């Protein structure tokens, strides 16, 4: 023992109390089940106030549901994600794994009372959310037994990519080089010196008076944004 | 003109009242020691605060506050000004009741108290922490006025803690099978992130309790947080309660739904963790006004999630010509580096930029170069070169060039 | 015994309530961002404060408060815990009205505003500051219980400022004739100290405004103080208002009456400025009680006013045998260096000491060795090896050996 | 000009306002004078409340006067400083230069109203203090003209030493080595392991309860000093 007297074994009850994570291969998923209609009731009392009755609200957060099609359910790629003119991105447009939803709802939702749902309630609201996006039918009962089948219908299940140089190890992909390559030109470089974007005048004071966001002494002051710019 | 000349002569004979009339503090007795057992900044520093960006988030508990980079010196961020990012609000956790559990692919699942952890051999290292969404508002157009808002989800501290590998070894970790760890917090979101064992094995990942000489601040995870050098802030799990060793990644909400980078082809890059080489000029910067022509010291910060900053170049003509800046030593790995360069402002418009290069040879890209590969919908990991336009009036604005 | 065994089994089945019963913060929504625009430590850190030593000084404005070294990590001292030493109280000076004057042996006497100074090229350096009287109460006998009081007139910060030589050169300083500068403060005492031009010329002496990323704290000289690396704190003139270049030393009150070292022959050493190589174990240290036998990490701080710390040795048997400790990098010149060493406490009495060696080869002396040369009436510059006695009860006491 | 636009020349009036220092060679000393009896009056109204009528008080600070003899005035060495059994050290026992006194009183005293004395008042209180120590006679008038003569009577004028290694330059003395020389023995060293001094029991709680001066968690706690030590 390298460090005598430090730390102790965890009891099985202790591990059970905290080991709540659920992986994409469903390791960690507790047994249980919940129907769409059960989920609807829970949703309406415990989730809709923040996320909207159809998961469409963006009052406290991005909409959870919307933007996916039956075709996406078939292909596993959310088509609208390829469109540069479609600004919104709902949770169900992005999420690749049903386990991610289950795990997160189970640990963190409802936001103001996390970990208050029973296992079956988590199954049920998950079913309800999936039903809103027509991933599962109205009479569906999701359970640990059939969740792997549900995974095969996740609309963006094929929309992810882990082959990039921004993971600090070779666990996902080996030898990938950074994707953006720039060179360090020093003189007479081909530069764009035309201003293409700047803060519109009406937004001048949108972050408050910048004169009050800089020190009172120093090489400069904050700009008084309560008055228009000097010529 | 003659009146002005007279005033000038009078002033020459007399001088500045701030000198000629001795201030109160030169003629009186000041305040006692321990006026504050824990001191605070001068009343004249009241403008130096962390701030929210109006409208950026819909709630204040799943939100961010930005560090006032425009007013900071050197590389250490005062803990009171450290940027905040909470997903379900922050807590002041009782450290005597806080526990850290280790489970998964190891011989003995274990529990540690804070007493236990603080008895183990620790290291102290200076590292930056940057939110993956820093500069995220600026992928498309100019959205915010100052470097507090463009780059302020960035801070740098001396962190003290125990290398996670030490704890894993104590629990008899299976270092062959175990390729990933899950880090889990004790807050409402019980924030979870997958961390590569390759980084853990290097000894760089810390289970940290110390920040700038004292304990972590509650907003930053008191009493325990994970420190994952070079990796985006959301992986530095706060209120750390559990570490699980596993053979597969966890696909947690914040690594596969939220902190994902949308590519032009409509796919999402998941697990994008490293904060690539980046820099920003903090003086002069957006929302400031220069008082006068003449000498200025252009200064700013550079950093890389892949190691040390090797070089920083500065341009005052919008990128046509560059000069290499001075770097303040010590230059440390995955740590902020302060650069500076002399500049005589002639009163004409100027566009100021900085470009950092890290020890891997990676060159910080132009916005255009970044967008060419990643489009404009990526949100995360905007490490493009920042441009500040100094106008004739002395006013400095945030601009994008094309 | 059977009751104890039953409890143990029950506990095995059940476990720690701090784990089994989820804490409030795992089941609720926490506080919003910018609850404090300038944050503060956890409520559970309330014991970590700077403190006066009762009876040490007769007034609270010509007095000292000690930094809680026993509770600090790494090398940075949080600015709120920086030790205080005032001679005529502290002030919160309006920086827009503060001026720095240069006069004496130079072409043009000059005046600088804070705006001027902050426009000049600056450097940021980590340095310790130690009061010349630190450990002064312990020349003769044990006088105080904890390392806060034995060694707490010591702090370390990242200072940002302009090398004084830059300003002198701007004023056309006569660097041949000018062998000393006088530094003068703007407080009631208008504190003055003679500083050697040899050190100024090296570029090490700074006219500093930044401390740990923000402005100096009012207690530490806001908005401007002199930084004189390696030299005792009283020379780091606060509220710096004037620099005079001269050909002779000034013999100011605090260099020839007050901070003078009385030798056994009855002479006073004047201008004793350098803080010689020194170290102290902060964990475990006086006034603490160890909770248990087993592993501990002995850790502490080492520093030298002559440059870098080269080595630190630690003894647990009162100096009979020593082991070389780990030094945390970066090891910087005239800066605190954190050392540590593993120790398994067997529950028996132990006397813990540390001994630092700097890059000049100077070895931190025993109390006896120091007294043999300087006697016991020197007050200042006590850099002797500190001894902490760990008793069987776990209680740690401050002891002198003979 | 290396840094255009930064700083400006100081005016003569400005330099005069701040350049108040006085050196041992009396550079900076303004013309003026003051008698012992004038000084006594000022002392009694402006100094005695803190320093005592005879400069003997240690209520706010060490005594200023005392411990010097006529012999010391002659030799320039304060004899009692050689005695290890004499604990007190007054200002006049230590101070080598009269300029130091003058300069410090002028800039810093009275403590609660520094810089309120006129030049002549500073001369006068200096004379009074010196008279208390019999350095100058009762009818003495000190002035810029005779202060150099006074310097020759300062009791500890020869009691100083600047030849040491603790000044970071060679301005005072060249090539002086550190006075204390230790060696770094590593094993079986000749060590004193007998406890010669420790905090007396009655002082256990003199610095407050140390349990409240250490963090609530960590490798150790603070000792509860409100109760006696455990055996
Ligand atoms: C009081 C408001 C509130 C309630 C009630 C609430 N949520 Fe949320 N929900 C949020 C907020 C805010 C977030 C974003 C948290 C963050 O930033 O990490 C969120 C995030 C989520 C997400 C992740 C979305 C993503 O893209 O990252 C899911 C899924 C979710 N909620 C489901 C639910 C379910 C199911 C319920 C009810 C059982 C529920 N929420 C109740 C406020 C609420
Ligand atoms: C309100 C209290 C107070 C008054 C009134 C006062 N003093 Fe002082 N004096 C002090 C204190 C306190 C100190 C020590 C300051 C320090 O720690 O640097 C001091 C220091 C001194 C010293 C330096 C002693 C040394 O050894 O460093 C001299 C000389 C002195 N006073 C002279 C005077 C004279 C002359 C007057 C009146 C004109 C005066 N004082 C009025 C409180 C006072
Ligand atoms: Ca134990
Ligand atoms: Ca698990
Ligand atoms: Ca983040
Ligand atoms: Ca001091
Ligand atoms: Ca100017
Ligand atoms: Ca002068
Ligand atoms: Co997030
Ligand atoms: Co003093």
Residue in C12, C26, C293 nearest the CB of A5: C293
Lowest mean per-residue pLDDT among A227-231, B76-80, B132-136, C162-166: A227-231
Measuring CA to CA, which residue among C282, C283, C281, C288 is closest to residue C397? C288
Residue C1 pLDDT: 41
How far does residue C95's CA lie from ligand 6's centre (Å)? Answer: 23
Mean pLDDT of B300-327: 98
How far does residue A29's CA lie from ligand 5's centre (Å)? Answer: 27
Residue C8 pLDDT exceeds 70: no
Q: Choose, out of C62, C74, C111, C210, the residue to mutate when testing the contact with B (most B CBs < 10 Å).
A: C74
Contact assignment for B34 to C51 by CB distance below 8 Å? yes
How far does residue B134's CA lie from ligand 1's centre (Å)? Answer: 22
Distance from CA of D140 to the nearest CA of C (A): 24
How far does residue D168's CA lie from ligand 10's centre (Å)? Answer: 20
In this prediction, residue B4 has a pLDDT band, given cuts at 50, 70 and 90, of: low
Distance from CA of B117 to the nearest CA of D (A): 8
Mapping DSSP onto H, E and C, the string for chain B reads CHHHHHHHHHHHHCCCHHHHCCCHHHCCCCECCCCCCCCCCCHHHCCCCCECCCCCCCCCCCEEEECCHHHCCCCCCCHHHCCEEECCCECCCCHHHCEEEEEECECCCEEEEHHHHHHCCCEEEEEEEECCCCCHHHCCCCCCCCHHHHHCCEEEEEEEEEEHHHHHHHCCECCCCCCEEEEEECCCCCCEEEEEHHHHHCCCCEEEEEECCEECCHHHCCCCEEECCCECHHHCCCCEEEEEEECCCCCCHHHHHHCCEECCCCCEECCCCECCCEEEEEECCCCEEECCCEEEEEEEEEECCCCCEEEEEEECECCCCCEECEECCCCCCCCCEEEEEEEEECCCCEEEEEEEEECCCCECCCHHHHHHHHCCCCCCCCCCCCEEEECCCCEEEEEEEC
Pocket of ligand 1 (CB under 6 A): A 46-47, 49-51, 60-62, 64, 91, 101, 104-105, 109-112, 117, 125; B 59, 62, 87, 189, 253, 257-258
How far does residue B288's CA lie from ligand 3's centre (Å)? Answer: 55
Neighbours of chain C (3+ CB pairs under 8 A): A, B, D
Q: How many domains does chain D have?
A: 1
Query: Which residues of chain D does C88 touch, with a Cβ-Cβ cutoff of 8 Å?
Result: 108, 111, 114
Query: Which residues of chain D does C245 touch, with a Cβ-Cβ cutoff of 8 Å?
Result: none
Q: Is the dihedral of CA C252, C256, C258, C260 positive or negative?
A: positive
How far does residue B87's CA lie from ligand 9's centre (Å)? Answer: 6
Phi-psi map region of A55: left, alpha, beta (phi>0 left; psi -120 to 50 alpha): left
| Length reported for chain C | 402
Tokens of A158: 């094929």
How far does residue B30's CA lie from ligand 10's centre (Å)? Answer: 15
Tokens of B163: 């290398």
Cα(A164)–Cα(B261) distance, integer angstroms: 11
Contact assignment for D164 to C148 by CB distance below 8 Å? no
Residue A22 lies in a domain: no
Superfamily the domain C83-269 falls into = Oxidoreductase, molybdopterin-binding domain (3.90.420.10)
- Helices and strands, counts by H and E, chain A: 8, 6
Q: How far is CA A7 from CA B101, B102, B174, B182, in A?
A: 10, 10, 18, 20
Residue B1 pLDDT: 41
| Residue-range definition of the domain harbouring residue D44 | 30-151
Residue B228 pLDDT exceeds 60: yes
Residue A62 lies in a domain: yes
Residue A40 lies in a domain: yes
Share of chain C above pLDDT 70, in %: 97
Lowest mean per-residue pLDDT among B199-203, C303-307, C309-313, D167-171: D167-171
Superfamily the domain B79-252 falls into = Oxidoreductase, molybdopterin-binding domain (3.90.420.10)
Residue C5 pLDDT exceeds 90: no
Contact assignment for B95 to C44 by CB distance below 8 Å? yes
Which residue, judged by its Cα, is nearest atom 28 of ligand 1?
A: A105
Ligand 1 test: best mutation among A43, A96, A111, A117, most atoms within 8 Å of CB?
A: A111
Cα angle B271, B276, B282 (rounded to 5 degrees) comes to: 130
Ligand 1 test: best mutation among B192, B253, B259, most atoms within 8 Å of CB?
A: B253
Q: Choose, out of A116, A217, A220, the residue to mutate when testing the contact with C (most C CBs < 10 Å).
A: A217
Nearest Cα residue in chain B from D6: B295
Residue B35 pLDDT exceeds 60: yes
How many CB atoms are located within 10 Å of the residue C52 CB? 20
Provide φ and ψ at A131, rounded to 5°: -70, -40
Residue D198 lies in a domain: no
Tell me: the pLDDT tens digits for C276-286?
A: 999 999 999 99
Neighbours of chain B (3+ CB pairs under 8 A): A, C, D
Residue in C15, C27, C113 nearest the CB of A116: C27
Q: Which atom of ligand 2 is nearest to the CA of C258?
A: 27
In the CATH hierarchy, which top-level class contains the domain C278-399?
mainly beta
Residue A84 pLDDT: 83
Pocket of ligand 2 (CB under 6 A): C 59, 62, 87, 189, 253, 257-258; D 46-47, 49-51, 60-62, 64, 91, 101, 104-105, 109-112, 117, 125
Residue B9 pLDDT: 54
Residue D87 pLDDT: 74
Residue D192 pLDDT: 83
Distance from CA of C84 to the nearest CA of D (A): 18
Residue B370 pLDDT exceeds 90: yes
**Beta carbons of B273 and B252 less than 8 angstroms apart:** no
Residue D94: which CATH number?
1.10.760.10
- Helices and strands, counts by H and E, chain C: 8, 24
Neighbours of chain D (3+ CB pairs under 8 A): B, C
Residue C338 pLDDT: 98
Query: Which segments of chain A have a pLDDT < 70?
Result: none
Tokens of A106: 């189970």
Mean pLDDT of C38-45: 98
Which residue, judged by its Cα, is nearest atom 20 of ligand 1?
A: A61
Contact assignment for A180 to B374 by CB distance below 8 Å? yes
Residue C10 pLDDT exceeds 90: no
User: How many Cβ contacts (< 8 angstroms) between chains C and D?
Assistant: 345
Tell me: the pLDDT tens digits for C51-106?
A: 999 989 999 999 999 999 999 999 999 999 999 999 999 999 999 999 999 999 99
The residues, ordered by sequence, that sit 6+ positions from D152 with a Cβ below 8 Å of its Cβ are: none
Distance from CA of B19 to the nearest CA of D (A): 6
Contact assignment for D115 to B26 by CB distance below 8 Å? yes
Residue A179 lies in a domain: no
Nearest Cα residue in chain A from C115: A218
Residue B5 pLDDT exceeds 90: no
Query: Which segments of chain D have a pLDDT < 70?
Result: none
Query: Could you tell me the residue ranges of all domains in chain C?
Result: 83-269, 278-399
Tell me: the pLDDT tens digits for D93-133?
A: 999 999 999 999 999 999 999 999 999 999 999 999 999 99
**Going along A57-214, which residue ranges are E strands?**
141-143, 160-161, 195-198
CA atoms within 13 A on the CB side of B98: 29
Q: Choose, out of C9, C17, C20, C346, the residue to mutate when testing the contact with A (most A CBs < 10 Å).
A: C20
């Amino acid at each position: 023992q390298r460090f005598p007297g430090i730390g102790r074994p965890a009891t099985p009850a202790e591990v059970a109390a905290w080991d709540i994570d659920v992986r994409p291969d469903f390791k960690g998923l507790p047994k249980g089940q919940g129907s769409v209609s059960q989920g609807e009731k829970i949703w309406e009392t415990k989730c809709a106030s923040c996320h909207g009755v159809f998961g469409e609200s963006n009052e406290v957060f991005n909409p959870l549901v919307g933007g996916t099609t039956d075709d996406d359910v078939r292909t596993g790629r959310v088509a609208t994600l390829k469109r540069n003119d479609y600004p919104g991105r709902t949770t169900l447009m992005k999420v690749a794994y049903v386990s991610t939803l289950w795990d997160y709802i189970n640990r963190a939702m409802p936001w103001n009372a996390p970990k208050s749902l029973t296992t079956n309630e988590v199954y049920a609201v998950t079913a309800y959310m999936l039903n809103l996006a027509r991933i599962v039918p109205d009479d569906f009962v999701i359970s640990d037994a059939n969740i792997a089948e549900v995974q095969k219908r996740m609309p963006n299940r094929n929309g992810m990519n882990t082959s990039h140089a921004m993971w600090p190890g070779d666990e996902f992909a080996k030898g990938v080089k950074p994707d953006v390559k720039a060179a360090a030109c020093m003189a007479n470089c081909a530069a764009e010196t035309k201003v293409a974007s700047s803060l519109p005048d009406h937004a001048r004071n949108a972050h408050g008076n910048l004169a009050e966001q800089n020190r009172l002494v120093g090489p400069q002051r904050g700009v008084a944004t309560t008055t228009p710019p000097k010529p | 003109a003659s009146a002005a000349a007279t005033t000038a002569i009078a002033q020459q004979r007399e001088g500045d009242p701030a000198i000629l009339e001795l201030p109160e503090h030169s003629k009186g007795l000041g305040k006692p020691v321990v006026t504050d057992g824990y001191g605070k900044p001068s009343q004249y520093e009241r403008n130096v605060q962390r701030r929210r960006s109006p409208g950026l988030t819909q709630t204040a508990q799943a939100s961010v506050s930005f560090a006032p980079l425009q007013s900071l010196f050197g590389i250490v961020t005062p803990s009171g000004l450290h940027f905040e990012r909470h997903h379900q609000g922050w807590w002041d956790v009782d450290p005597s009741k806080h526990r850290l559990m280790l489970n998964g692919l190891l011989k003995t699942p274990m529990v540690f108290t804070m007493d236990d952890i603080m008895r183990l051999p620790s290291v102290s290292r200076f590292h930056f922490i940057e939110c993956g969404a820093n500069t995220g508002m600026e992928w498309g157009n100019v959205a915010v006025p100052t470097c507090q808002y463009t780059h302020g989800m960035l801070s740098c501290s001396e962190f003290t803690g125990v290398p996670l590998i030490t704890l894993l070894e104590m629990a008899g970790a299976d270092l062959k099978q175990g390729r990933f760890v899950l880090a889990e917090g004790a807050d409402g979101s019980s924030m979870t992130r997958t961390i590569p064992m390759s980084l853990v094995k290097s000894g760089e990942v810390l289970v940290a309790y110390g920040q700038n000489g004292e304990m972590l601040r509650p907003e930053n995870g008191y009493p325990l947080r994970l420190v994952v050098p070079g990796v985006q802030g959301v992986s530095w799990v706060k209120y750390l309660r559990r570490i699980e060793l596993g053979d597969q990644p966890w696909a947690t909400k914040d690594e596969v739904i939220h902190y994902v980078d949308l590519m032009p082809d409509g796919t999402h890059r998941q697990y994008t963790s490293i904060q690539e080489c980046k820099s920003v000029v903090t003086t002069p910067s957006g929302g400031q006004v220069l008082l006068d022509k003449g000498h200025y010291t252009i200064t700013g910060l550079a950093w890389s999630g892949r190691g040390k900053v090797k070089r920083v170049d500065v341009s005052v003509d919008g990128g046509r010509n560059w000069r290499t800046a001075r770097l303040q030593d010590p230059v440390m790995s995955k740590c902020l580096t302060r650069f500076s360069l002399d500049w005589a402002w002639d009163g004409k418009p100027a566009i100021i930029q900085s470009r950092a290069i890290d020890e891997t040879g990676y060159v910080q890209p132009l916005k255009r170069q970044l967008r060419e590969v990643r489009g404009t919908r990526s949100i995360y990991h905007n490490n493009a070169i920042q441009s500040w336009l100094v106008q004739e009036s002395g006013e400095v604005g945030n601009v994008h060039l094309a």
